[in-house]
Amino acid sequence: MRIGLIFIRELRDWVEFFVRNIPGRIGFRIRTFYYGLRLSKPIKKIRFESGLRIESPRNIELGNGSYFGFNCKLYASELSSIKIGFNASFNSNVMVNARGKGRIFIGNNVLIGPNVVLRSNNHSFESIDRPVIEQGMSEGEIIIHDDVWIGSNAVVLSNCEIGKGAIIAAGAVVTSNVDSYSIVGGVPAKLLKNRLKPKN
């Protein structure tokens, strides 16, 4: 029985390696068909570039009309979830990581630049008597509202909420909530400007 399960997992890994690396339009169509069967809800008009990796697809929901660039990674688990709205755009090498017991929600019309990392959980490190690697993970979530733009190489850490229309500058590290229509940047990210014009 155990050998059979190992064989099935190995076979699935080989199939997914093949599916995620097929180039061109045929690759787009095959990936859309394959992940359309495996994700939590049916998908339409989604474009997956090659190199895509998805873990626990039954706990991932994708809105229609979205784009995922080369080598994007969507990591959920049996105890976590990822939900992405419609018309979202993920540039190359974006990692959306909700492993463990995390939750990541991304709204509609969200634009995410290359090499961005969204991580809903973090390593626990309270004890100095044990290596960090042995202390497990803390639970958390990330909420990103509609019409947010996250610049390249930015990092959004656990328990952060990014308000509607906010902009995260390239290279920023978001460690706390971001107000709607604000522009933040730096490490850690701080307010740079407000997009809303003051009323006269």
Contact status, residue 70 vs residue 48, Cβ threshold 8 Å: no
- As given in the structure block, the two tokens for residue 140 are 């958390």
Active-site residue identified among 123, 190, 193, 195? 123
Q: Tell me how crowded residue 42 is: count the other CB atoms within 10 A of its CB.
A: 9
Residue 123 among the catalytic residues: yes
Q: What are phi and psi of 90, to 5 degrees?
A: -115, 115
Helices marked H in the chain: 2-21, 24-38
Beta strands 89-90 and 111-112, pairing class: parallel
Contact status, residue 96 vs residue 118, Cβ threshold 8 Å: yes
User: Residues, the chain, total?
Assistant: 200
Contacting residues for 184 by C-beta, under 8 A, at least 6 apart: 166, 167, 168, 169, 172, 174, 178, 190, 191, 192
Active site residues: 123
